[in-house]
């Protein structure tokens, strides 16, 4: 289940289950969104992006859903694997501008 820890919200899932990571964004003018994955000791890595003219976008094992009405993003990971254990950040942007604003992140822990 999902719980709020001292630092980061943590989501624990069983290997093979689907994961859903949520993000509330702050600016109603944001029109471009990205999910990043950050493994321990590494920089964030691009996973998938979505523009505000779309509600859903699919990649390999990942799907991003965008609900502009409530300013909410979610990242769905199918058949979660141990290698998916990481911190996941959403980031919002306006018109492919310079400044991406990052959310605080969610730690995904995959249980064997």
What does the binding site for other proteins look like in residue numbers (CB under 8 A)? 6-8, 32, 34, 36, 41-46, 49, 89, 91, 93, 95-100, 102-105
Cβ-based nearer residue to other proteins, 6 or 69: 6
Closest CA to 84 of 32, 20, 22: 20
- In the bound state with other proteins, the residue whose beta carbon lies nearer, of 10 and 12, is 10
Handedness of CA 87, 88, 92, 96 (dihedral sign): positive
Cβ proximity to other proteins, 7 vs 83, nearer residue: 7
- In angstroms, give the least distance from the CB of 7 to other proteins: 3
For residue 4, the minimal CB distance to other proteins (Å) is: 11
Beta carbon of residue 101, minimum distance to other proteins (angstroms, whole number): 8
The label of the residue with tokens 């990043």 reads 36
- Helix/strand/coil for 65: strand
Return the closest-CA partner of residue 11 out of 84, 88, 108. Answer: 108
Q: Which is nearer to other proteins, 91 or 110 (CB)?
A: 91
Tell which residue, 57, 32, 26, 47, has the closest CA to residue 108. Answer: 47
């Amino acid at each position: 289940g999902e719980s709020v820890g001292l630092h980061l919200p943590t989501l624990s899932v069983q290997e093979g289950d689907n994961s859903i990571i949520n993000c509330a964004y702050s600016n109603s003018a944001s029109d471009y969104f990205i999910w990043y994955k950050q493994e321990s000791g590494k920089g964030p890595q691009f996973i998938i992006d979505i523009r505000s003219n779309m509600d859903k976008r699919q990649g390999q094992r990942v799907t991003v859903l965008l609900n502009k009405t409530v300013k909410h993003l979610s990242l769905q990971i199918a058949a979660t694997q141990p290698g998916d254990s990481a911190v996941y950040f959403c980031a919002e942007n306006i018109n492919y501008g310079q400044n991406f604003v990052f959310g605080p992140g969610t730690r995904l822990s995959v249980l064997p």
